[in-house]
Chains A and B, each alone.
Chain A
C-alpha cells in the first residue's frame, strides 16, 4: 500500500481546544494516515471516520498487529475509494490510543499520564478535532466523509456541525443516538474494566500490569453485538473446541468460547482500557436530536446541499434499520438529498466491513454521481 505512514500533528499549541463538557485541552496531538495525493484544486479529499475499536490504519498495515488495514477492501489504487483519484485521510479519534491525545497521554500540568483526569469527550469533540486536522492539511472542503458504526456517528456530527465543509456524506450502520440497550452493553464492558484489580482507578500506566482481563471481557461482550445469531450459529453452532466431549469444567469447551477469548486476548495488545472507557462514554452521550429540542430534522437544516447516502443491514441488531431510517426521514424532512437502502445480509452489524456486493454497487454509484456533480470524470 503506497502512502505515507505514521503522521502525527500537534494542534492547539497556543489556543484551547474547547470540549462539550466545558473542559479544554492544549496542545492536542492527532495520529493520522494519508493515502493518495491532494489534487491542485483541493477537491478530492475523502475523510474516513473509524469505529469504536478502529484506528487510522484503514488501508495500511497495523504497526502493532501487522494485519492489513481494516478497510483495505475498499480503499486503495483502483479500489472503490480509488487512492489514484482521492486523497484519503483517516485519523485516530480524540480519546484514542494510536497517537491522538487520550487518557494514556501525559497531562502537561502534572507530567503524569492523564488517566481518569482526562476530560470526558463527545462524538462532536472528535469531529471538531478532525476539522482542525483538515485545516492543518490546508483543506477547506471534503469531497466525501464516510464512516460506519461510530464512524457514521461522526459523519452525522459533521453534517450538523460543519455542513459547509462537505460535498457528500456516507453513513453506514449507524445511529443518531444511543438506545438504552446500546448503553447497557457498553456499561457491561466498562464495569468489566473497572472491576479488574489491575485497573487501579485508571492509573495503571506505570504499574507494569494493565487491566487486560477486564478489557478482554469488554471486547468479548461488544463482539457478540457485532454479529448476528445466525452468524454465530453457522460459524460455531455447538461445536466443541479440540475435544471429543465437554470437560465438565470451565475451559473453553465450545468453539464460540475459544473464539471470543481469542478476540479478547488479541484486542488488549492494541487498545488502551481507559481509551475504551472514554470512547464508549462518548457514544453513550450521543443524542443529536436532544440538542434540537427533540427534532432530528433540525440538526440537518444546514446540510441541504450535501449529497447523502445512508445504508443499514437487515441483520444488524446493534444499530438496526429502524435507527438508520429515522436518520433518513429526518434528513428528508430537512430537505437534504439522501438515498437509503437496507442491505439484505445475515452478517449483522459487522457487515459494513465485509464483502457485500450490493453495498459496493450502491457506494460506487453514489461516489461516481458525486464526482459528476463537481465535473470530475467518475
Chain B
C-alpha cells in the first residue's frame, strides 16, 4: 500500500498537505488517491477515462468519475479543491493550455508532472535515427501513442510564465523518482520527468 507507492507518485504525495481536498485528474487505478486518503486524511476525488481504472478506484472505496480532462474539468466549481493533480497527462490532452488554466480555477494549487521531451536521450535518438523517439519513458510509436502534445521542461516553463502562473516548486527527477537538484536549463537536458507545483 504505502510502501509500494510508485516513486514518482510519492514525490507528488510528499507535496500534499494533510487534510486537504484533492482532485486527481487521470487517477488511473487510484493508488495515489488511496495513499493520500489513508495516510494524509485528504478528501480525495478522481477523474479517470478507463472503466478498469474507475472500477479499481470504486473497489478501493474512492470516489471517481469516468471522464476526461478536456471535457469534464469545466463542470467543477471554482476553488473546490486545495490541490488538483495532473500526473503525466498534460501531454495527452487536446488543449493543454486550457486544461492548465482549468486546474488552477478548480484548485488553489496544481501539481503537474510531465515526461521531458527535451531529455538528451530523446534528442540523441531523433538526431541519430531521424525517427520519432521511442525511449523508456516514451515507449510508444508516433501513431499509437496517447501523447499528442509533447513538451520539454523549458516549454512548460514558458507557457506557465506566459499565463502568469507561478512555480512554487520545481522537482526534476528520474523515472524512478530520484530527485535532481539543478537549474531548469540543465534539467531540460538531463531529467526524465519533472514535477511542477503551481499557483495562480
Q: Give A residues with C-beta under 8 Å from B.
A: 307, 309, 325, 328-329, 332-333, 335, 337-344, 358, 361-362, 364-366, 368-370, 372-373
Residues on B with beta carbons closer than 8 Å to the beta carbon of A328: 65
Pair A341/B55 contact, Cβ less than 8 Å: yes
Closest Cβ–Cβ distance, residue B181 to chain A (whole Å):
39
Bound: A214/B75 CA distance, A:
43
Pair B76/A373 contact, Cβ less than 8 Å: no
Instruction: Identify the interface centre among A325, A339, A369: most chain B CB within 10 Å of its CB.
Output: A339
Chain B contact-residue range equals: 10 to 19
Q: Which of B61-99 contact A (CB under 8 A)?
A: 61-67, 75-77, 80
- Residue B104 at the chain A interface, CB threshold 8 Å: no
Residue of A nearest to B54 (CB): A341
Bound: A372/B51 CA distance, A:
23
New A-B pairs, 7, CB < 8 Å, besides A358-B55, A365-B59: A309-B58, A333-B75, A339-B58, A339-B63, A362-B55, A369-B61, A370-B61
Bound: A71/B47 CA distance, A:
30
CB-contact partner of B59 in A325, A337, A368, under 8 A: A368
CB-contact partner of B54 in A333, A339, A369, A372, under 8 A: A339
Bound: A214/B27 CA distance, A:
51
Closest Cβ–Cβ distance, residue A274 to chain B (whole Å):
40
29 contacts between A and B (CB under 8 A): A332-B65, A332-B76, A333-B76, A333-B77, A333-B80, A335-B80, A337-B45, A337-B63, A338-B65, A339-B54, A339-B57, A339-B58, A339-B65, A340-B54, A340-B64, A341-B51, A341-B54, A341-B55, A341-B58, A341-B66, A343-B51, A358-B51, A362-B55, A365-B55, A365-B58, A369-B60, A369-B61, A369-B62, A372-B61
Chain A at the B interface: SS class: helix
Residues on B with beta carbons closer than 8 Å to the beta carbon of A370: 61
Residues on B with beta carbons closer than 8 Å to the beta carbon of A373: 61
A329 with B66: in contact, given A339-B54, A369-B59 (CB under 8 Å)?
Answer: no
Residue of A nearest to B50 (CB): A341
Closest Cβ–Cβ distance, residue B26 to chain A (whole Å):
15
Pair B75/A332 contact, Cβ less than 8 Å: yes
CB-contact partner of B63 in A329, A338, A344, A361, under 8 A: A338
Residue of A nearest to B23 (CB): A332
Closest Cβ–Cβ distance, residue B48 to chain A (whole Å):
9
Bound: A85/B54 CA distance, A:
26
Residues on A with beta carbons closer than 8 Å to the beta carbon of B58: 309, 339, 341, 362, 365-366, 369
Residues on A with beta carbons closer than 8 Å to the beta carbon of B55: 341, 358, 361-362, 365
Pair B54/A362 contact, Cβ less than 8 Å: yes
Pair A342/B66 contact, Cβ less than 8 Å: yes
Residues on B with beta carbons closer than 8 Å to the beta carbon of A337: 45, 63
Bound: A370/B57 CA distance, A:
13
Bound: A337/B55 CA distance, A:
16
Closest Cβ–Cβ distance, residue A249 to chain B (whole Å):
48
Closest Cβ–Cβ distance, residue B75 to chain A (whole Å):
4
Residue of B nearest to A363 (CB): B58
Instruction: Identify the interface centre among A338, A343, A361: most chain B CB within 10 Å of its CB.
Output: A361
Residues on A with beta carbons closer than 8 Å to the beta carbon of B66: 340-342
Residue of B nearest to A344 (CB): B51
Residues on A with beta carbons closer than 8 Å to the beta carbon of B65: 328, 332, 338-340
Closest Cβ–Cβ distance, residue A328 to chain B (whole Å):
6
